[in-house]
Amino acid sequence: MEERQVIVAMSGGVDSSTSAALLQEDGWEVAGVHFLLPCSPRVRLERVERVRRIADHLRVPLDLVELDKVFTEKVIRPFLEGYLAGVTPNPCVVCNEVIKFEYLVRAAVDRGFHFIATGHYARIQQDNGVHQLLRGLDQGKEQSYFLHRLTQGQISRIVFPLGHLRKDEVRVLAAGRNLPVPSGSESQEICFIPGDDYRSFLQSETGMGAAKKGDILTREGEKVGEHTGPHRYTIGQRHGLGIASSRPYYVMEIRAEENRIIVGRKEDLYSTRVEARDACWISGNPPAETRALLGQVRYRHKAAPGRLQVLPDGNLIFEFNDPQWAITPGQALVIYQGEQVVGGGWITERANVER
């Protein structure tokens, strides 16, 4: 059996700090690593000082790893390109796949450790030599959706100390251990965007050209308004369209290449079919059974039953038993079998909307 040595990704928040403390109390030799990501000098200093206070409190060694350039190239740039192309990216899924767990494993190897840990609300279990990823028990917080692109090599190393806990329990545990984390603190939705204002971030990063105005059309081609840049809209958006109508319109499509927004009524956004590309599977292979599965099309979406079809090119089609609302290109389609994550792919630019 591997030595009980683990390196913990420490952000300075309550979840990762409590994870490190629980592992330490359980007899693990714990070391911390903090990834330095793009942000202002002031924010970086605050983050480093906070995580150092936590590491000192726990008396664990802490390494700082500079990931500014690789994070910009692999996460921020695709995020910007996605929005400008008319899709709604999910940078947290991308980060977990190409940054967080990739470099956490590297940090563990550098220190001579086998295991890695984070504060994610998810669970790992082993079945016949295959490591399975399961939902966390706190259904309001669980984060398995963001982890569906991890490999067996990564999952076999992971420890999730919080997977069996609720968020309120974690706060109590942190307080009882006098961890120096801000009371009630939560991580930002997107860590590299100040104030979670993605529209301002896009504007500042891409320039005024991103605010090019264009037409808002119904799916029949009738002009009903004018938009202020395709990047400012998401599928299912109702507010901020500026359309005078007795019934509300919702964004149905974002045609960035045409500089047009297509709108429809709420019922027009329901679909039973979703297509996805670039599939990956937790076990390394597609599921043998394709009927008794659930599909989840965004983080807060309630996974719904349907049938999976895996195409020869690796793309996916998932047919829901009942229509789902506002399926959004750029988000992840994650496939579950009960509580177990099977795998998933990226929702493509055109979901078939029922007419």
Residue 311: strand, helix, or coil: coil
CB atoms within 10 A of CB 239: 7
- 39 given a catalytic annotation: no
The residues, any chain, with a CB within 8 Å of residue 150's CB and separated by 6 or more, are 96, 97, 101, 133, 158, 282
In this structure, the strands spanning 5-9 and 29-36 are parallel
- 95 given a catalytic annotation: yes
Continuous H helices in the chain: 14-25, 41-58, 68-71, 77-84, 91-95, 101-111, 152-155, 167-176, 198-206
The closest of 272, 227, 228, 268 to 249, measured between CA atoms, is: 268
Task: Choose the catalytic residue: 39, 92, 95, 280.
Answer: 95
In whole angstroms, what separates CA 114 from the centre of its chain?
Answer: 25
Assign 3-state DSSP to the chain and report helix, strand, coil percentages, each to 5: 30, 30, 40
| Tokens found for residue 188 | 């930002």
The closest of 53, 69, 45 to 13, measured between CA atoms, is: 53
Task: Choose the catalytic residue: 39, 92, 191, 280.
Answer: 191
Give the C-alpha separation, 50 to 181, whole Å. Answer: 8
Residue 332, classified by CB atoms within 10 Å of its CB into exposed (0-12), middle (13-18) or buried (19+), is buried
Give the C-alpha separation, 173 to 177, whole Å. Answer: 6
Continuous H helices in 112-197: 152-155, 167-176
Query: Looking up tokens 């939902």, which residue turns up?
Result: 135
Indicate which residues carry an active-site annotation. 95, 191
